[in-house]
Structure formats: C-alpha cells, structure tokens
Chain A
Amino acid sequence: DGGITQSPKYLFRKEGQNVTLSCEQNLNHDAMYWYRQDPGQGLRLIYYSQIVNDFQKGDIAEGYSVSREKKESFPLTVTSAQKNPTAFYLCASSVSRGGQSGETQYFGPGTRLLVL
C-alpha cells in the first residue's frame, strides 16, 4: 500500500533536548511538507521541500530544522530553541514540485509531541 508514515505516534521532549520526527512516503512524490496543528486552530506550514537537497521555510520555521537527502524522506527536528513545541505535527506530500495550484496533498497520521 502506498502512503505516508510518521513515527513515532507520540513523542516526549525534555527541556533543552532536540527531537526528530520521521516522515517517509512511498508515493514517489516530489514535494513534501510539515505542518503544525494546535488545538482549535488550523494547520500552519513549518517547512516544505520541492526537490531533494532543497527546502524552504514556511510561516513558522523558527526553532525547527529539516533535511531532504532522499526523495522519500523528510525528517523534522524540533530544536531546544522552539519554546512551545507541544502540538500535533503532520507531514504531507504532493505529486509535483509544488508550482501547481490545485494539487492534492496527502497527509500522514501525525505525531503528537509533548513536553515533559
């Protein structure tokens, strides 16, 4: 089955710790995205990548970092600089390099990050 997998489902972070959220897709999609969802709010874009070895900041990139070394993988690191990391994190992908309006984005099941 093709799709997007995110792991872990739940992640706990201690003060001053960096944590990495995994996102893998086997849809052969070029573009990948990371969104953050807070209770009662819509999703906000953290980072996106349209091609391997390239990525751009979204609306709330501060305190986060990403890499795109392989087409199928787009891990997100939540650094200690992110002061309010508790949220639900969603990864998504779409077919082309993101220049097209109207493309469907396919979402993974999400990772819930909690601060200890």
Chain B
Amino acid sequence: GNSVTQMEGPVTLSEEAFLTINCTYTATGYPSLFWYVQYPGEGLQLLLKATKADDKGSNKGFEATYRKETTSFHLEKGSVQVSDSAVYFCALSRYNQGGKLIFGQGTELSVKP
C-alpha cells in the first residue's frame, strides 16, 4: 500500500543551523508530494509541494526535491529561525484517489536562540 516515513523527532537545532528532515515514500505510479507545517495548537498549512519527478518545491527558504530513484522528498533549509519551530508533515496523494492525503507521522522541530 501507499505510505510515508519520516525521520523521528524531536529535532533540536540552534538558530542559523542547517535543517534536513528526511522523508521517503512507498507508492505505485507517480504520486504528488507535499510538506505541511503545523504550529502549536493550529491546523496545517502547505509549505511546498512537487507533482513530478525532479521537481523542486520551495517556499520561505525551505526546499525539497522529488527524487523518484530514491523515493524521497527530503526537506531542507539553510538557516533556521526560532519562528520555524513547528511540526512538519510529509504527505503524498495519488491520482484518482479522491485527492486524499497520506501523511507521515510528523517531525517536531525546536529551534533554540
């Protein structure tokens, strides 16, 4: 079946450190891939997405590249800020599956000043 696996958290970094959160997926065909972010007590917001192999999604300094050969969509940011502290979810959707998202378990990021 379809699934998403993320690196376990919590991840604790100092401000201005480099961030990588690993995400790998299992799916038949060509899924679309997403990163969503959840701030404490809130709903989810789309951070970035990619809909085909080798596409790079980017937003607010975050980037992720859709790698079909390694079935991965790792999230990166060159210099994190305290305001980036949140839970990050990797997700996929497949064509003709009602648009439903399949989520990883989430990775909590804490950035210290």
Contact = CB atoms under 8 A, between A and B. Distances in A.
Contact of A101 (B41, B44, B93, B106): B93
Interface string A98-114: 11111111111110000
A48 B101 CA distance: 11
Interface residues of A, number: 32
Contacts, number: 81
Interface stretch (A11-19, A37-45, A63-71, A72-80): A37-45
What is the predominant secondary structure among interface residues of chain B facing chain A? loop
Contacts of B91: 42
Given A99-B98, A104-B49, A90 B32 contact: no
Interface size class of B (residues with CB under 8 A): 20 to 34
Contact of B43 (A41, A58, A104, A110): A110
Nearest to A110: B43
B20 interface: no
Interface in B63-113: 89, 91, 93-101, 103-106
Given A97-B99, A104-B46, A109-B42, 9 more contacts: A42-B106, A48-B98, A98-B99, A101-B93, A101-B95, A101-B99, A102-B32, A102-B49, A102-B51
